[in-house]
Chain A
Amino acid sequence: MSTETSLSGAELRAYLHGLPGVDQVGADERAARLATRSVKADAKAAAIDLAITMVDLTTLEGADTPGKVRALCAKAAQPDPADPSVPKVAAVCVYPDRVADAVDALRGTGIGVASVATAFPSGRAPMDAKLADTRAAVAAGASEIDMVIDRGAFLSGDYAKVYEEIVATKEACGDAHLKVIFETGELVTYDNVRRASWLAMRAGADFIKTSTGKVAPAATLPVTLVMLEAVRDYRAQTGRQVGVKPAGGIRTTKDAIKYLVLVNETAGPDWLTPDWFRLGASSLLNDLLMQRRRRATGAYADPDHFTLD
């Protein structure tokens, strides 16, 4: 783990603004072109299963109850009750006060419990509160923490504040993995996404994540492309691998496969495991299951054969 704690604000700024720019048109074009890849036959079956194993099955609602979380955990462990060959998902993602419910429901499954923290989704809370939020989630058994950066600080150029918050949250995580959410829909430009990526990686992020799912646009292919380029380059430079998680708006198998192609042709196959790539989603899982069923039976499936949890 290489975190740097001695960077001054001016140094950070100079560093981040010295990164190569991102031409929006070119990045959009590249992502769109990769989206035309056609994954067929056995390759598609393998891609569907891979995508299932990468899902962070998510519920982040004010209305979340222990019952809702338990149901989601059951789905995570056995996505298709009619087909035990379906792999389980990577993790269940909940609010901090529901972590205990999820830990309880997932015990022994090997499925991770991810908790959003740091005053998700806005991040607009005192630092103490954010750290308390994080510690509470970890204490309740979360194995992964999805923090949000202070977009206000980032957009006003106070990179040092963003950096220090990540460093502090990382420390509060202990053994839990830290995913850093940029809320790219609020950062707007790809230059900002690239800067945020390098800032977070240098501050110790284990994963960088696009969005909370509460702001539109959430994950997009070009934003994810820019982040994948960043983790690729960061590993080449430092030897440390950082994961990527697009979240929000990924609803169909077609979408998911586009993301896998993007990973494959940008960061490379080393990232094509749940250890290094996750899909933050809720409704995606059922579409993956329906596509899987269609491949198995040769007929399009009825959605009512798949559980709504």
Chain B
Amino acid sequence: MDFAYAPAPESRDVVDIRPSYGLFVDGAFTDGHGEPFKTIDPATEEPLAEIASADASDVDRAVAAARAAQEKVWGPMPGRERAKYLFRIARLVQERSRELAVLESIDNGKPIRESRDVDLPLVAAHFFYYAGWADKLEYAGLGPAPRPLGVAAQIIPWNFPLLMLAWKIAPALAGGNTVVLKPAETTPLTALAFADLCRQAELPPGVVNIVTGAGETGALLAAHPGVDKVAFTGSTAVGRSIARTLAGTGRRLTLELGGKAANIVFDDAALDQAVEGVVNGIFFNQGHVCCAGSRLLVQETVADEFLERLRARVSTLRVGDPLDKNTDVGAINSAAQLARIRELADAGEAEGARRWSPACELPSRGFWFAPTIFTGVAQSHRVAREEIFGPVLSVLTFRTPAEAVEKANNTPYGLSAGVWSEKGSRTLWVAQRLRAGVVWANTFNKFDPASPFGGYKESGYGREGGRHGLEAYLHV
């Protein structure tokens, strides 16, 4: 029988989107002096709000506010007091989690199931985790008397807007730094809601400043001589340019950039769970994940059977309305990103890889891309080398563990990798040899505030999360 679930939309009533938003500087919303821009709902292309854009003078103002707050209030404040503010923020995130999840899904296009069950719980957990560090920094094993760096400029991407904000702000504040954060142009709303939450927490003005704008605002912030540290998550190209900007300045920099992760499936893997892991690896968050398992490396002995199972499973993915509680794959975040995914997928076809998608009806408005699997992919194909940042999986095969490792490492990136096997010794052998900052064995796309995250090679440097994540915000 045909077992339909019927639409199950999460209510939008829990969010109140204002027609326009200013910058959050020194504890207050203020006008920006750049040309305002609109943020839209990528599932409908409807405009959501008008957002202020920060120009050089606005960035100056935000950095000055952060500096004053750092020197006069936040830096001198005892760690135990900073901790309590961060705990307060964690609690407020929990209290407002449904609202923030819905807002995230509306602005970003990600399924509510993920914003509700993954993003928001991790945001709260991240603040809760680093809150506990604020008065224990000398026990972090980094040095006997760690000191804050000062003002941190933080530039975050659109794929996990509020979660990336948490990854940036929580350790910075725990370490006694103040921040100026720029959310992505296409997903500013949850950062602005977070600004409101900071006011509810009565966080001292200037400790957290949020400046919205496009890439130019980010460039101004990264290059600002008044900041002591820059933390950036985003594309490798922009990461390079920030590193160049900071050359010779002595300012600290951490970069969390792109990836092209291999998900390695051995023939002795728990196949059904490996199928789930591969699906979760590439279709989670529409594949807008820097650590996405975008390359499946499957052992030839089991490749046909595995692919058959994988296709059957992908056929059950439900693509559509991000606010529907049953949606597995939501909207692509922007027209520009959709164009890039299309361009690379077309290149995959042109280069001779076989393209497959399940039958799935995509909404007529908004930005959508069906889950796609390329088989017959060679290492030389663009779909095997370039980060697509979309729901597109490239399948390659291997014969021996050494070949799997060689192919997995044969990329300029080194952010993450997956290994699926029921043989522990081989899993560890492979994990040791993968040049990647995160290796998931019999799981994928797992995150936790206690677990360091970050890349090797051109996936960037520095770690976020755990004890290691503190180092990025401290003189030790």
Contacts and interface: CB of A to CB of B under 8 A. Distances in A.
A touches B in complex, CB < 8 A: yes
Contact of B5 (A22, A25, A40): A40
A145 to B, nearest CB: 27
Given A38-B326, A41-B6, A42-B6, A22 B1 contact: no
Contacts of A186: none
A26 B271 contact: no
A181 interface: no
Interface string A37-48: 111111110110
B4 A43 contact: yes
Contacts of A22: 270, 272-273
A273 B8 contact: no
B306 to A, nearest CB: 10
Contact of A20 (B3, B5, B113, B272): B272
A200 interface: no
A305 interface: no
Contacts of A38: 5, 8, 325-326
Q: From DSSP, what is the main secondary structure of chain B's interface residues?
A: loop
A72 interface: no
Q: From DSSP, what is the main secondary structure of chain A's interface residues?
A: helix
A30 B5 CA distance: 18
A44 B271 CA distance: 32
Given A21-B422, A25-B443, A38-B326, A229 B6 contact: no
B277 interface: yes
A287 to B, nearest CB: 20
Contacts of A260: 3
A42 B276 CA distance: 30
Contacts of A39: 5-6, 8
Given A23-B442, A272-B1, A30 B8 contact: no
Residue from B1, B5, B422 with most neighbouring chain A CB atoms (10 Å): B5
Interface string A15-58: 00000111101110110000011111111101100100000000
A40 to B, nearest CB: 4
A24 to B, nearest CB: 9
Contacts of B117: 36
A2 interface: no
B316 to A, nearest CB: 5
B6 A29 contact: no
Interface in B1-24: 1-8
B269 interface: yes
B273 A23 contact: yes
A23 B271 CA distance: 9
Interface in A68-118: none
A271 to B, nearest CB: 10
Contacts of B273: 22-23, 25-27, 30
B1 A50 contact: yes
A82 B277 CA distance: 48
Contacts of A44: 6
A265 interface: yes
A40 B271 CA distance: 32
Given A26-B273, A26-B277, A26-B443, A43 B268 contact: no
Interface of A: 20-23, 25-27, 29-30, 36-44, 46-47, 50, 229, 260-261, 264-265, 269, 272-273
Given A20-B269, A21-B268, 8 more contacts: A21-B270, A23-B442, A26-B277, A30-B272, A37-B5, A38-B326, A44-B6, A273-B1
Interface of B: 1-8, 113, 117, 268-274, 276-277, 316, 325-326, 422, 442-443
9 contacts: A20-B270, A20-B272, A23-B442, A25-B273, A26-B270, A30-B272, A43-B4, A261-B3, A265-B316
